[in-house]
Amino acid sequence: MTTSPKAQKKSKSQPFTVETVSRIPQQGRSKASLQRMLAAARALMVERSSEDFTLIEVSKHGNVSIGSIYLRFESKDNLVRAVIAETMQDMAKAEDRMIAKLASTCPTLADFVPQFVEAYATVLSEYSPLLRLAMVRAEYDPLVAEPGKAAALEAEAKSTLAMLSYDKEIGQDDPTMRARAAYFVIFSTLARQLGLGSTRESIGNRDWTMLKRELGRMCLAYLTAD
C-alpha cells in the first residue's frame, strides 16, 4: 500500500486527529453517526487484532449506512486512521490524568516511581490492542508514523518532567539524563511484555506483578544512586 505525496505533505502540516482524516458533520445526529462508525471499526480491530474488516461490517455493527460511511471517509484507510487518531488522543489524556494524580499523591520519588510503573502499565495495557495495530501501520503509513513518533516523544517528555519534579532526590550527575533513561527502561520493558511493536513479540510468561515491582525498585535505585 502506498501513500500519495499529497497525503505525506498533509501528515507533516496538520495535526493527526479524526477531523484531519474525515469529513466532519455539523448536525448532532450526524456526529452521533460518526461516533458509531468509529466505535464499530475500533471494536472490530480489537476483536480481530488486525484491520481485517469490511465497511459492510462497520455498517452493520454501527447501525449506519454504507453511504454515510463514504460521506465521512473517502476510504477504509482513513477510517482506520481516524480510529488510531482517536485512540492516540484518548491515551494522551489518560497519561495526563495519570501523571496529575501521581503528582498530587506522591510526596517523594520513592513513592512516585513504583506507582508510576504500576499506573503506566495499566494505561499501556488498556490501549495495547490498538497500539499494536498503530505500530504495524506506522511501518508503511506516514500519516500514522509521524504523529506516532510525536506522541511517543510527548509521553517521554511528560514522564521525564514528572520525575524531575523530585530532582533533589535524583543523583546530581545529570538528573535529566537519569530521568530519561529510567523512562526508557520502564516503557521498553512494559511494551515488550505487552507485545507492542510490529513483530508483536513479548518476553513470555513472566510474572506481571513481580516484573512491575522489580522494575520500580531497579529504576528507583538507579535514579537515587550517588
Question: 208 or 201: which carries more pLDDT confidence?
Answer: 208
How far, rounded to the nearest angstrom, does the alpha carbon of residue 175 sit from its chain's CA centroid? 26
Q: Which helix (H) or strand (E) holds 129?
A: helix 109-138
pLDDT per residue as tens digits for the range 67-124: 999 999 999 999 999 999 999 999 999 999 999 999 999 999 999 999 999 999 999 9
Topology, domain 13-72: Arc Repressor Mutant, subunit A (1.10.10)
CA–CA gap between residue 197 and residue 193 (Å, rounded): 11
Residue ranges of domains in the chain: 13-72, 86-224
Question: Of the CATH numbers 3.10.450, 1.10.10, 1.20.1630, 1.10.357, which one belongs to the domain with range 86-224?
Answer: 1.10.357
pLDDT per residue as tens digits for the range 17-57: 888 888 766 565 688 899 999 999 999 999 999 999 999 99
Tell which residue, 54, 58, 50, has the closest CA to residue 33.
Answer: 58
Q: What is the mean pLDDT of the chain?
A: 89
Query: What's residue 167's pLDDT?
Result: 95
